[in-house]
Structure formats: structure tokens, C-alpha cells
Amino acid sequence: MKDRTLLMIPGPIEFEPAVLAALGAPTTSHVAPDFIEIFGQCLERMRQVWLCPSGQPFIISGTGTLAMDIPAANLVEPGDKALVISTGYFGERYAEILKRYGAEVKILHAPLGGIVPPDDIEAELKNNSYKLMTITHVDTSTAVRVDPRPIGKLGQKYNVLTILDGVCSVAGEELRQEEWGIDVVLTASQKAIGVPPGLALVMAGPKAIAAWRARETKVYNYYADWDNWLPIMEAYEARKPSYFGTPPVNHIWALHVSLGQILAEGMEKRFARHMKTGDAFRAAIGALGMKQVPTDSAHAASTLTAPYYPEGVSGPQLLAKVKEAGVVLAGGLLPAIKVAYFRIGHMGAVKPGDILATVGALETGLAACGYKFKVGAGLTAAQKVNQGLF
């Protein structure tokens, strides 16, 4: 039997062989002409993937948390007011980051599995003047997806900068940064971007760059300061050598391959494929009689699914049995319900067969845990949604 498991967690995901080959290729100089060329192309490709032709892309070594840190460090000055729209664990993290830079933070908490209604956000913006607000497009702890469109509009109406944490959404969920008026969209490499962990990717729109230029105080984080990075990104894009901190050369070669694959698929097709994959998983979980953390499928993510364990089923036992059946899933993350639910990641290069393999392994695990259900119900439901994909 092949010694192989399918990794279906919400990041890191399984990566394409061509991406891994680029990562493992001999390292080039960071000022080699061929590297300068592909770095420049990565920046240009990011604008196409983010759908943000006027944005300034940044490719910096680090994780998604650094990608959250970068706009906070560059846009917050002590005493600035920031509004955090929190739909889970990563919203709370954003509040902590903003506070470190001296922001006065107000958090609007969504109910568990729900969203904050745009009317509540508008009421808050009407009554208080904020410099910026953050949203988590998909909070990976709850699988709740927030619609960025009304929030982008509110940001423009009330002149508040909008920062979107797209770590679990960019290149998976539909996202049109420029058209939707979002000032900063950030992500990391290890999810739908399809490159092993190690890259913090940020796209800053013109209003965000102007706000950074208008600062009265220095940026307190030396490594994150756009003053250090902007000339580097501009140099690579102009195909000129430059240096601030050694770029993660192999990761950038790999990013070049992955962004190329994403654009070859096409953003519209990619959004539609992720949507269908999310539908297939949600249909399967529903058909197995299991509840999910998002309270409404209208705000459930396409990039991951978060089912509750059925009553009487032990979480650790179920995940172990699913793993024995060949598929690795993730446990819970949100502290309040951590032991009550689990997560299935399905972004990037997920094939229809991976969906069936995952649902099949889940059924095997559920049966091994003594859960009563109609065997094949999940597979049939997934297959029905899947059909257009085959």
C-alpha cells in the first residue's frame, strides 16, 4: 500500500509538485538577473491575483501574522482609533497587534458562528471616527466568511482605511480588492496561494500608502517599515538589483510557479471551483447529520468546513480513525468550543477525488466511532454537488 496521507487541513495545504521542485532547486543569488526577473513578475502577478491593478505589492519573509503586523505597524500611530470586526480567533489577534502600536481598539464581536451585521458597523462608524478597521475575510477558527463589499463601501463613506486579513481567502474566495474598495489585503503563502509556509504577502492600495506617507511619527517596527521595503519592491519591479534583508529566494521561485498556475486557471474559474468544493463539503456534512459552526451557509467559507463532532463521538478518536483511513484533518481552534468541533481545509489544488477521499475517510472514522448514519450519505451528497467538476 502506498505510504501516503491526504493533508486536508486549513493550511499548510498540499502543494503542487512543480512548486516543490522550484523550492528545492539550487538557490540563486538574490541579485541574479533571472531572480530579479521572476521577483518582478511575482509582484506583477500578485496584482492580477488580488485584482488590484493600482496596488503596491510586498513580498516579505515571514508568516501570516507578520502580514497582519505590517499594515498595523505602518498605519497606526499612538492614539489612533481602530475598529476590529471579529468573527473568531484571528479577529482577536488583530486587536492585540493593533494595541501594540498604541491604537485605541474597539472590537465588534460576532456571535459564535455568525457575522457582525453591516448596519451595526455603520452605526459604530457614524458615532466614532476611526482611522482604520480590520476584517477577517475567512476566520479559520470558525469557517465564517465576511462579505467585504459592504465594509469596503462603509470604509469609503466614512473615510476609514480597511484592512482585510485574507490569509484563509486570497486566491480561494472571491475577492476583488480594487473594485470593492479595500485598502489593504494581506495573506500568507501556505494556504490558497499554494507555497509552503514562509511568505507574508501584502497589497497596499493608494490610500493606505498615502496614509503611511502622512505619518507624523516613525514606524516603530524596523523590520516591517515600508520605508525599508518599498524601495526594494520598486527596484525588483524595475528589474534592478537592491538589498534590504535577504529575500527568501527559493520561496520566491516557488511563488512564481504557483502564481503562474493560479493565473493559468483564471481567477473566475478558481473562485467558482472553491465555491463548489465548499458546497460539496457542506452538503456532505449536512447529509451525515452533523452540525457546523457557521450558523448560515450564506456566510460559510468555501476554503474550509468546520463541523461539530456528533454527540457521543470522541473528537480525538474520530480524527485518529480518519487519519488511519488516510486523511489528516485539523482539530478545533476557537477556545470556547475547541474540543467540540474539527476543521477540514479544502483550498488550492484540491481535486474532486480528494473531496470524495476525505468524505469517505470521515465516514469510515464515524462508523469506527459507533456513530449511526446511512453509509454513503455523505459521499452521495458530495458527488451530487461535485458533478459539474468531473
- The residues that touch ligand PMP, with contacts defined as CB under 6 A, are 11, 63-65, 68, 90, 136, 139-140, 165, 167-168, 188
For residue 167, the minimal CB distance to ligand PMP (Å) is 3
For residue 297, the minimal CB distance to ligand PMP (Å) is 20
Of all residues in the shown chain, the one whose CB is closest to ligand PMP is 64
Closer by beta carbon to ligand PMP, 69 or else 124: 69
Closer by beta carbon to ligand PMP, 97 or else 259: 97
Task: Print the SS3 string covering the chain.
Answer: CCCCCEECCCCCCCCCHHHHHHHCCCCCCCCCHHHHHHHHHHHHHHHHHHCCCCCEEEEEECCHHHHHHHHHHHHCCCCCEEEEEECCHHHHHHHHHHHHCCCEEEEEECCCCCCCCHHHHHHHHHHCCCCEEEEECEECCCCEECCHHHHHHHHHHCCCEEEEECCCCCCCCCCCCCCCCCCEEEEECCCCCCCCCCEEEEEECHHHHHHHHCCCCCCCCCCCCHHHHHHHHHHHHCCCCCCCCCCCHHHHHHHHHHHHHHHHHCHHHHHHHHHHHHHHHHHHHHHCCCCECCCCHHHECCCEECEECCCCCCHHHHHHHHHHCCEECEECCCHHHCCCEEEEECCCCCCHHHHHHHHHHHHHHHHHCCCCCCCCHHHHHHHHHHHHHC
d(CA 373, CA 362): 12
Closer by beta carbon to ligand PMP, 190 or else 386: 190
For residue 296, the minimal CB distance to ligand PMP (Å) is 19
Closer by beta carbon to ligand PMP, 154 or else 195: 195
For residue 306, the minimal CB distance to ligand PMP (Å) is 12
Closer by beta carbon to ligand PMP, 144 or else 280: 144
Neighbours of 330 (CB within 10 A): 18
- The cell for 276 is 463548489
For residue 198, the minimal CB distance to ligand PMP (Å) is 9
Closer by beta carbon to ligand PMP, 55 or else 64: 64
| Nearest residue to 160 (alpha-carbon basis) of 189, 186, 181, 185 | 181
Closer by beta carbon to ligand PMP, 42 or else 330: 330
Closer by beta carbon to ligand PMP, 63 or else 364: 63
Phi, psi at 104, each rounded to 5° = -90, 110
Closer by beta carbon to ligand PMP, 195 or else 322: 195
- The cell for 344 is 477540514
For residue 231, the minimal CB distance to ligand PMP (Å) is 26
Residue 99 CB-half CA count within 13 A: 10
For residue 97, the minimal CB distance to ligand PMP (Å) is 10
Closer by beta carbon to ligand PMP, 90 or else 309: 90
For residue 66, the minimal CB distance to ligand PMP (Å) is 7
Q: Left (φ > 0), alpha (ψ -120 to 50) or beta: where does 114 sit? A: beta
For residue 181, the minimal CB distance to ligand PMP (Å) is 21
Torsion from C-alpha of 271, 276, 278, 284, nearest 10 degrees? -170
For residue 123, the minimal CB distance to ligand PMP (Å) is 26
